[in-house]
């Protein structure tokens, strides 16, 4: 597991060799969710609306980088960080 970004108490992670569809993991306090990269929808879990909005905003800005990290994770390569929201 690699931490890709951290902002406003939100932690974004991705796991090596994870299952499709392409997604990332989000932790916000005690809340956890998996979100698809393509549609930015919640696969499972729950995030409060404000956190969900911030994650969706961040992910829409970095969608290409998230897909690059997804492919790197599939190949068990090192995952580099992505800039957080300002």
Q: 77, exposed or middle or buried, with CB in 10 Å at 0-12, 13-18, 19+?
A: exposed
Domains of the chain, residue spans: 2-74
Q: What is the pLDDT of residue 17?
A: 82
- Per-residue pLDDT reduced to its tens digit, 37-84: 999 999 999 999 999 999 999 999 999 999 999 999 999 999 999 999
Going from the C-alpha of 63 to that of each of 29, 30, 31, the distances in angstroms are: 24, 25, 22
Predicted confidence at residue 1, as pLDDT, reads 72
Predicted confidence (pLDDT) at residue 2 exceeds the cutoff of 90? yes
Q: Mean pLDDT throughout 7-35?
A: 97
């Amino acid at each position: 597991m690699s931490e890709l970004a951290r902002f406003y108490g939100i932690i974004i992670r991705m796991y090596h060799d994870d299952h499709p569809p392409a997604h990332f993991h989000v932790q916000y306090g005690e809340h956890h969710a998996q979100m698809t990269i393509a549609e930015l929808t919640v696969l499972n879990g729950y995030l409060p609306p404000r956190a969900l909005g911030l994650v969706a905003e961040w992910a829409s800005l970095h969608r290409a980088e998230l897909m690059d990290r997804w492919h790197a994770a599939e190949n068990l390569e090192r995952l580099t960080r992505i800039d957080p929201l300002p």
